Amino acid sequence: MRNMNKEISLFLASPDEQKFLAMLAEVNCELDRSSDRQWFLQVDGVRIQFLRCQEDESSITLGRVAVRTPANVDATNVADLFRSIESWVTNNCVNNLTCRNTTKKGSTTTIDDVWVGPSAKAMADSDSTTLRQSRTGNVVFEFRA
């Protein structure tokens, strides 16, 4: 497989992240934690970005797992790892969201490609936590009725 370009957007609370990291440990990949916000998985010289969610007492920001490989790289092992990540996300998270800009009436739209871990969902369901695109931004995510 060559030239891979994929991304998964997700909300993970701390307990969700710990489960995600446990899954990564099982597939035996190297994890570079040199930054607090952005970690990298190393596979055959290719880096998969894990942009961690930021969590505080009232919000969780959107994170992602992303990979892009150049055309001249054999991405077979990277693709296998990314499939494992996708499988974990689809088996452990939900994706029944809408998003809206809090400053624009009528801006609500259905979102099917953003995933929410079970702990993040429980926090959002309790109305004590808002799922946000960024800490200071106006875009929020809510569960569909």
- The mean pLDDT value for 62-82 works out to 88
What domain range includes position 39? 5-92
State the pLDDT at residue 1.
Answer: 55
The residue that leads in pLDDT, 132 or 1, is 132
Q: Write out pLDDT tens, residues 3-60.
A: 788 999 999 999 999 999 999 988 878 899 989 999 999 888 888 999 999 999 899 9
Q: Tell me the average pLDDT across 66-71.
A: 87
Distance CA 21, CA 1 (A): 25
Look at residue 83 and tell me if it is in a domain. Answer: yes
- Residue 122 is assigned to a structural domain of this protein: no
Q: Is residue 129 part of a domain?
A: no
**Percent of the chain whose pLDDT exceeds 70:** 99
The CATH number assigned to the domain holding 34 equals 3.30.310
Tokens of 60: 């969780």
The answer as to whether 111 is a domain residue is: no
In a domain, 68, yes or no: yes
- pTM of structure: 0.92
The answer to the question of residue 132 being in a domain is no
2 has pLDDT over 70: no
- Cα(56)–Cα(40) distance, rounded to whole angstroms? 23
Q: Is 47 a domain residue?
A: yes
Q: Is residue 67 part of a domain?
A: yes
In eight-state DSSP terms, residue 1 is -
- pLDDT of 27: 83
* Number of structural domains found in the chain: 1
